[in-house]
């Protein structure tokens, strides 16, 4: 299906690995010029940058000025913004072990980075009378989990921010949607220092068993693949989704048991 994305310009936050890298790959493969930023690059991103459709910017998106610097690298036009950067620190010690510093760091990266990137990209979209903003949220915005308590709260804030913004800018031609994955086969869950390894250290269970237990909670019995999330982002970025705004798309293998 031709999504009509050739020649569009997109900014993707956190595009060096995982879902972000899959989104960058999908957009570039559809003819979109992609500007993406991350604190550290990766072999996968460097390879995409050599293709000519992708520009990688070294930027700390936790820095309050970082998102605006990334958006500025796109020049005077941004057609698509994908707010992807985030982290999901496991909290096996429970609520009383989560410090103010932990709370602020999680909210800063999982919510405020999206707020700041949106603030920087929105003026050019308003001037054009068109644009698509897609934020990678999480099922934990609704399926609040004490094991990722501050992450759940930050993602709930992100979902509310995007829904409210969609009402403000929808009449001006700008669509705002969220995509909410369940567990995804990325380093955030399965890599060194990821959720599975952190829970393993706290409980004594093997990391593979922690991951298998998480997968068993999904109807499909498996983690979502990053490319599956990217496919939904790609559709929402396109004019094929021209009358979709203020919506959330769950990609969780049936993890959330209610409508």
In DSSP notation, the chain reads ---S-TT-EEEEES-SSHHHHHHHHHHHHTT-EEEEEESS--HHHHHHHTTSSEEEEE--TTSTTHHHHHHHTTTT--SEEEE--------TT-GGG--HHHHHHHHIIIIIHHHHHHHHHHHHHHHHT-EEEEEE--GGGTS--GGGHHHHHHHHHHHHHHHHHHHHHGGGTEEEEEEEESSBSSHHHHSTTSHHHHHHHHH---HHHHHHHHHHTSTTSSPBPHHHHHHHHHHHHSGGGTT--S-EEEESTT-S---
CA distances (Å), origin 221, targets 16, 51, 90, 253: 27, 36, 22, 7
| Catalytic residue status for 151 | yes
How deeply is 259 buried, as exposed, middle or buried, from its count of CB atoms within 10 A (0-12, 13-18, 19+)? exposed
Residue 234: both structure tokens together: 């790609």
**Catalytic option among 21, 88, 149, 151:** 151
Active site residues: 151
């Amino acid at each position: 299906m031709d999504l009509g994305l050739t020649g569009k310009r997109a900014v993707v936050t956190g595009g060096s690995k995982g879902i972000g890298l899959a989104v960058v790959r999908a957009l570039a493969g559809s003819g979109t010029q992609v500007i993406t930023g991350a604190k550290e690059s990766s072999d996968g991103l460097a390879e995409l940058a050599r293709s000519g459709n992708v520009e990688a910017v070294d930027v700390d998106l936790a820095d309050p000025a970082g998102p605006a610097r990334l958006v500025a690298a796109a020049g005077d036009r941004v057609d698509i913004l994908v707010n992807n950067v985030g982290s999901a620190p496991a909290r096996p010690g429970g609520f009383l072990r989560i410090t103010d510093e932990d709370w602020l760091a999680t909210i800063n990266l999982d919510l405020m980075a999206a707020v700041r990137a949106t603030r920087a990209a929105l003026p050019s979209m308003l001037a054009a009378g068109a644009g698509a903003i897609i934020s990678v949220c999480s099922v934990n915005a609704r399926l609040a989990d004490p094991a990722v308590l501050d992450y759940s709260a930050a993602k709930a804030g992100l979902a509310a921010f995007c829904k409210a913004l969609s009402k403000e800018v929808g009449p001006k031609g700008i669509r705002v949607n969220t995509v909410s994955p369940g567990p995804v086969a990325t380093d955030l869950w399965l890599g060194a220092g990821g959720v599975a390894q952190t829970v393993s250290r706290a409980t004594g269970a093997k990391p593979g068993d922690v991951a298998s237990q998480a997968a068993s909670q999904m109807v499909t019995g498996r983690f979502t693949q990053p490319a599956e999330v990217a496919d939904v982002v790609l559709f929402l970025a396109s004019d094929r989704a021209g009358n979709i705004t203020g919506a959330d798309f769950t990609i969780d293998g049936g993890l959330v048991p209610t409508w």
